[in-house]
Structure 1
Amino acid sequence: MATSPRLRNSLTLFSGRDCVVSHRVRMVLAAKGVTCDIVLVDPSHPPEDLVELNPYQSVPTLVERDLVLYAASVVTEYLDERYPHPPLMPIDPLARARIRLTTLRQEHDWVPHVQAIQHGNRQQAEFARKRLRELLLDALPVFKMSKFFLNAEMSLADCAVAPIIWRLEALGIALPKEAKAIEDYGQRIFRSPGFARSLTAEERALRELPT
C-alpha cells in the first residue's frame, strides 16, 4: 500500500500521547539519537493516514518511505538494526534470546495490566493494579542483578520496562521498601538525557524527572 505523500521522505512514528508501548519505541529513537517526526494520535480515533497504513490502526506504527511497521517488538528491533549505534542488543545469541523472551513476557503479562488500569472499569483496574504489583515484586531479583535489566548495558529490555516503572505512581502502585531496587533502577534510566527526550508532554506530567 502506498504511503501518504507527506510521509514518504522522512521517518515518522504514529504514537499515543500516554501509551506505554509507543513510549517503548520513542525510548529507542531517543537512545539512538534518531530524528523522527512524531505524530501523536488518539488510538480510538485514528487519523486517515494511520487507517490506510496499518490494518490494525494501532500505535506504535513506524513509516519510512514505503516501509510500514507496527507492533512495538517489530519496530524496536528494526530500529536497532537500522541504526546500529549504540547497539541495544548484546552480541551473544543466548543473551539476545533472553532479552527477547523477557520483552515478550512483559508484552503479554505487564502491559495488559497497565492498559487495564488506564482504561478499564474500577474492578478491572483494581485487579490489574494488584497483579502488576505482584509481577514487579516477582521480578525483583532481576532488578538487583545488574545495572540494567538482564544486561550490563542498556538494551531493548530497558526500553520496554522503564516506561512501566515511570508510570507506577500515576497508576496507583506503591512498592514496599524492600523493592527499592526497582525505584533505583528507574532513577538510573530516568536521569539519562535520552529518557527525557522520549517523553510526551502528557508523560512528562506523570512525575518529576530526577535531577
Structure 2
Amino acid sequence: MTLYSDNHCPENHCVRWVVAEKGIYYDLQLADIQSTPPQLIKMNPYKEGITFVDREVVLYEAQIIFEYLDERFPHPPLMPVDPVSRANNRLCRYRIQRDLYNHVKVLERGSSKKAMATARRKMRENLTSLAPILAQKPFFMSDEFSLMDCYLVPLLWRLPAFGIELPRQAEPLLNYAHRLFNREAFQTCLTKIEREMRI
C-alpha cells in the first residue's frame, strides 16, 4: 500500500492519523501537490488532495479513504457498528467539512484580508460552539475514539498557524485537543512541517 500525501494539508494529516491508529504498514510518499508527480496524474484525475493505492484499488478523497481503511482493517474500529450511529458519524464529518474545512481553504489560498478575517471569525465561532458538546463526552460526541476525532483534531493542531485564538469559553475544546494531541498515533503521523506549526 502506498499513500501519496502532502506534508501540511489537514485532510492528508487525517488520513495519516487513521493509518497510524490502525497500525498499518504502508509506504508514505510525501508529494508537493502544487507540482503533481507524473504517476499521480494518471491515478488522480483531479490532481489534488491525497491518493491511496492498495494493489488495484486507487482512492483519492479523504472521507472515502477513511471508510475504506476502517472496513479493510476493522481493528480497532473507528466507526460505530449500528446504521444510525454510522449515519450520524458521517453527518458530523460532513458538518465539520462544511463549517470548518471550507474556511480552511480560504486561509490556505491566501485570499483577500477581508475574506481571511471572515474565515477566521467563522471558524472561531463554529469551534467555540462545539465546546459544550466536548465537555460531555471524552471524544467528539462519543465515548469511543472515532473518525470524527480523526477529522476534527488536525484542524485544531493548525489553529496557531491559521492565526486563530479561541476564547475562554472554548476551554473544553482546547482540553480535548491537547489530550488527543498526546496520542501516540497522532504524534507519529506528524510531518516535520506539521510539528513546526506548534513550535
Superposed pair shares fold, TM > 0.5: yes
- Give unmatched runs, 5+ long, in structure 2: none
Q: Which residue of 2 aligns with 1:181?
A: 172
Which residue is equivalent to 1:55?
A: 45
Are the counterparts in 2 of residues 89 and 156 from structure 1 also a CA contact under 8 Å?
yes
Q: What is the aligned counterpart of 2:148 among 150, 157, 160?
A: 157
Percent identity of equivalent pairs: 41
TM-superposed CA distance for 1:114, in Å, is: 1.4
Paired residue type of 2:115: Q
Equivalent residue pairs, number = 198
What is the aligned partner in structure 1 of residue 158 from structure 2?
167
**RMSD across aligned C-alpha pairs, in angstroms?**
1.2
Q: What SS class does the counterpart of residue 135 from structure 2 fall into? A: helix
Distance 1:59 1:197 in 2: 21
**Contact between 2:5 and 2:31, CA under 8 Å: does it hold in 1?**
yes
- Taking structure 1 as the reference length, what is the TM-score of the superposition? 0.90
Partners of 1:113 and 1:132 within 8 A in 2: yes
Matches within 5 A, 1:87-126: 87-121=77-111, 122-126=113-117
User: 2 CA distance for matches of 1:197 and 1:59?
Assistant: 21
1:207 is matched with 198
Residue 42 of structure 1: how far off its partner (Å): 1.7
The residue that corresponds to 1:40 in the other structure is 30
The answer to whether the Cα contact below 8 Å between 2:7 and 2:193 also exists between their aligned partners in 1 is: yes
Distance (whole Å) between structure 2 residues aligned to residue 34 and residue 137 of structure 1: 34
TM-score (structure 2 length as normaliser): 0.95
Please give the secondary structure, in 2, of the residue aligned with 1:149: coil
The unaligned stretches of length 5 or more in structure 1 are: 1-10
* Offset of residue 120 of structure 1: 2.3
Match for residue 82 of structure 1 among 69, 72, 76: 72
Describe the SS at the equivalent of 2:158: helix
1:133 and 1:36 mapped to 2: Cα distance?
Answer: 35
